[in-house]
Chains A and B, each alone.
Chain A
Amino acid sequence: MPFNGAGTFVPPSSTFNPAVPATDIDASDWNALLADLATGLSTTITKDGQTTPTANIPLGGFKLTGVGSPSTSGDALIYGTTAANAVLINSGKPCFLAYNGSSQANQTGSGAGAAPAFGTEVFDRGSNFSSGIFTAPVTGIYRLTSNVLLSLLSSTMVLQVINMNTSNQVFTSQQEFVPAGTGTLALKIDVLADMDAGDMASVSVQLSGGAGNTASIFGQAASPRYTFFCGELVA
């Protein structure tokens, strides 16, 4: 047992440990000591890379310094790395993308708000998106983006608004556009939102000027995606 499990090398007690003056060394004790020393040295990490750690190495708050720039998958990242091939893949980062796989008829037109369903998820890492609502799993800055295609607009629906509704604040993009006949119009919004854990984010759209809610939120199962909502934690 060269190392005691806490990093201390403990030489075996024997006929010469502790050493006694004018006392012969027992051959088997000598061999046992050499075996322990060999085992102990073989347990250490060699600086020329001959050995490979067999367990996680606790650093106790200290740093690895002078680490070389990463050049291939599996290399350690270092602070300030700008190597062109240093690709960081964070599979644990919250992010989502959902879209309307079908249209929602007669949703808006008279000024009332309507919520796109975003009923089809493409991905949702962390399972934070449900029923058109994203819930922040941790506090941070989130990029939230949505595009909503409205169809069957009448020429009287001249004010269009898309809202990114987050718990801490609402972001709005408004425009005044006079549709020609039964036109279509894409409303877009892209924000960096300060969200606390548990905060929600959703999208709503409004059209004003129509006699009733006769305009639709367009969606289709096939690509391309016209009405979608996506987001990610960025900082």
Chain B
Amino acid sequence: MTPEQKAVLAHVVTDPDAWYSHAVSALGEKRAFAALAEKVARWTADYEAARRDLGDAYKTRAERDAEGINPLG
């Protein structure tokens, strides 16, 4: 996974490495590689728009989730 792919993936999922590792495990390396490319292609525009709109305030999915309200504390 390239740093660019990882950055886009981190915009959507909480743990890019875990996502890819699971995809390889479930789909096999070839299909997982294609799924990664497809997912990155699908979310790149959304990621770039968020980076452009939010600038330094941009947060990854994990950072956004960490700021969410947890009713269980």
Contacts and interface: CB of A to CB of B under 8 A. Distances in A.
B42 A135 contact: no
Contacts, number: 57
A200 interface: yes
B72 interface: yes
Q: Is the interface of B mostly helix, strand, loop or mixed?
A: helix
A111 B72 contact: yes
A139 B36 CA distance: 11
Interface residues of B, number: 20
A170 B20 CA distance: 18
A139 B22 CA distance: 16
Given A135-B26, A137-B27, A168-B12, A198 B19 contact: yes
Given A167-B13, A168-B12, A198 B36 contact: yes
A130 B72 contact: no
B39 A197 contact: yes
A170 B71 CA distance: 14
A32 interface: no
B25 to A, nearest CB: 9
B38 interface: yes
Contacts of A213: none
A156 to B, nearest CB: 14
Interface in A175-202: 196-200
Interface string B16-40: 0001101100110001101110110
B3 interface: no
A167 B72 contact: no
B22 A200 contact: yes
B73 interface: yes
A72 B12 CA distance: 45
Contact of A161 (B39, B42, B72): B72
Contacts of A151: none
Contacts of A133: 22, 26
5 contacts: A111-B72, A133-B26, A135-B23, A197-B31, A198-B20
